[in-house]
Structure 1
């Protein structure tokens, strides 16, 4: 039996590639915790998660003070047992974003190690349902972008073979949102998918109003129309519109997803591997969604989600938001508008640690070994 002998913690700060705005926030930074786990054979697995603008230092303290020390001496193959024991160790702070993001950084590192030691890519080890999934782009659809630019970006995406474009909604008046969406529909035609994302910005009455106004545009979905903890509101909205309702990036427990699916509060599951706490719970949510005949269209983290969307039979789309290109030697492979699953062993993210050093927050670095840390 191998044992975990060393855990290295790093935090890097990645600025957005373009200006990113939605109904409630602007993305000014992506603080990215990185965890490297070394076992007694000398094999290394690397995992990560992310924040949007704040919270990275809190995640690192949780990792360094409470979670990573518990890994020393453990059998890295016992991924499920480790996940459950770590979650219980911090049960007073769960369920929530900080805990989930910390657990995800460890869990993805353990899966990376597991896959590398088997000599197989994640999408095969986790299920192997398909070797590619269609892409849609979000990068050209931010809320501040005007209609003409939305159209230009969507036309370019279609030329690359992408299945659709996501456009942020939440302008002050429904007419503004409608005009932007209608311009894209008019220019791209009926066969191009238009996804929308409200980022929890509406009240129920406003979401109902806008869903009714958008019905003629045949949207692929309305994402996060209401605050994520408003389960009843999502049920009522879903019952009032034929447009699919998508949720998931702001849900942090498999039980939250169960409630949404069981009560008919959503049609599309957007479970995020970082915000659900790692690959281990992500797969559980995806398989539960299959039982409800719901597709999985994961949020963000395309470099990792391509493998997970390919692992399960109900993976439908991968969201194109490039962010790690400058810090990795691996890059998302795109063929005819589809994201192709990586073929190399591991989770499919190969870090360029020389580049990581240039963006790291040095005071967050920590190494945990048997007997203490340094």
Structure 2
């Protein structure tokens, strides 16, 4: 038995490079919660993007459950964590906390075995397709053009996404203008995606989709709230673009309901919210059982090993905010040039290590 010695958690608040907003939320900083797990003089690292309360939950509720467990038996530890969180609820801070610990445990196991995570999981492909994601509603036209042109023309990423649904769907004219700006910026050969973050009603989304189709939009993410399965299904049945949602799901029951409802064309999975890598593979299995592809939501470097090990993967979201933070705070971040990114195969685990300089952003 290789006993887990200690679990530590810390929160880091990183300012955005400019104000950011989507259809239903605005922010000027992002909080990263990092978990470290120790066994036999080896440390595994996991993280999530969550309120600092998730770090407190790790320390106060999960650390005692995980310490002393066998580092090789992650499913047993994952089950123990979910049971410990029963009265806290899986959504919210508890779900984020479990996810970050689970990622740290998988990274620890791979490092103890001296193997890259993708080899431990079993690779389905050497690298994964990515799409550039940003285009926040706070951006002016010039900022949007510069970001999208950087991805499409300088880095050669053949698919990009912008935010729409501004002010909870009350500015559809500006939404359509920004989509036109995006199409002009990337040209006809680049796939164009949009994400409303649940800002529209179902019928409003259907009406707008007919106009978005004229700009070649092929991916409509969360046109209505991810909780509105009937609304998602209505939009999916009425429009030509693929409808995607699911990233806020924190348990496998939610993903099952979404697939059974016929609500999406592609299921989005976020390992930083749904229970880490353990939760990712459970959700991916549910999607496969319903003949759906999956897409990784945000946290691109964290998702790369699991994405590369998933046969039914469509792509990984190269989300501007998280990609910038991971490149700044971790050694070993990947390069999306050419439209694909490759998980680390030359070092054990996921290959990312928190830099000492991250301490300057610590808030908990």
| Shift in CA distance, 94/234, structure 1 to aligned 2, threshold 3 Å | same
Which residue of the partner structure matches residue 278 of structure 2? 280
Matches within 5 A, 1:322-341: 322=323, 323-341=325-343
- 1:312 CA drift (Å): 0.7
Alignment size in residue pairs = 355
Which of 139, 154, 161 is matched with 2:148 structurally? 154
Determine if the alignment matches structure 1 residue 43 to structure 2 residue 38: no
| Shift in CA distance, 7/186, structure 1 to aligned 2, threshold 3 Å | closer
Deviations 1:30-54 (A, max 9, x none): 2222221112x22221111112xxx
TM-score (normalised: structure 1): 0.90
TM-score (normalised: structure 2): 0.92
**Secondary structure of 2:17 counterpart:** coil
- 1:206 CA drift (Å): 1.5
Matches within 5 A, 1:128-207: 128-139=123-134, 141-159=135-153, 160-171=155-166, 172-207=170-205
CA–CA distance in structure 1, aligned partners of residues 81 and 314 of structure 2: 31
| Shift in CA distance, 149/60, structure 1 to aligned 2, threshold 3 Å | closer
Determine if the alignment matches structure 1 residue 355 to structure 2 residue 357: yes
Determine if the alignment matches structure 1 residue 4 to structure 2 residue 4: yes
Matches within 5 A, 1:302-313: 302-313=300-311
- 1:272 CA drift (Å): 0.6
CA–CA distance in structure 2, aligned partners of residues 157 and 31 of structure 1: 25
Determine if the alignment matches structure 1 residue 106 to structure 2 residue 75: no
Deviations 1:155-211 (A, max 9, x none): 322221102111111233323222221233245343311110111111222222212
| Shift in CA distance, 327/75, structure 1 to aligned 2, threshold 3 Å | same
Which residue of the partner structure matches residue 23 of structure 2? 23
Determine if the alignment matches structure 1 residue 257 to structure 2 residue 260: no
CA–CA distance in structure 2, aligned partners of residues 216 and 253 of structure 1: 37
Contact 1:99–1:277 under 8 Å retained in 2: no
Contact 1:326–1:355 under 8 Å retained in 2: no
| Shift in CA distance, 35/149, structure 1 to aligned 2, threshold 3 Å | closer
CA–CA distance in structure 1, aligned partners of residues 120 and 17 of structure 2: 32
- 1:290 CA drift (Å): 2.5
CA–CA distance in structure 2, aligned partners of residues 17 and 348 of structure 1: 26
Deviations 1:64-95 (A, max 9, x none): 22111111211111111111111112212223
CA–CA distance in structure 2, aligned partners of residues 350 and 204 of structure 1: 43
Which residue of the partner structure matches residue 76 of structure 2? 81
What stretches of structure 2 of length at least 5 have no aligned partner? none
**Secondary structure of 2:227 counterpart:** coil
Determine if the alignment matches structure 1 residue 14 to structure 2 residue 21: no
- 1:132 CA drift (Å): 1.2
Deviations 1:301-337 (A, max 9, x none): 0111122211111222222222222211212133422
Stretch deviating more after TM superposition (196-205 or 212-221): 212-221
CA–CA distance in structure 2, aligned partners of residues 335 and 214 of structure 1: 27
CA–CA distance in structure 2, aligned partners of residues 294 and 217 of structure 1: 25
Which residue of the partner structure matches residue 32 of structure 1? 32
CA–CA distance in structure 2, aligned partners of residues 80 and 64 of structure 1: 20
- 1:291 CA drift (Å): 2.9
CA–CA distance in structure 1, aligned partners of residues 304 and 143 of structure 2: 27
- 1:285 CA drift (Å): 1.0
Determine if the alignment matches structure 1 residue 123 to structure 2 residue 118: yes
| Shift in CA distance, 145/95, structure 1 to aligned 2, threshold 3 Å | same
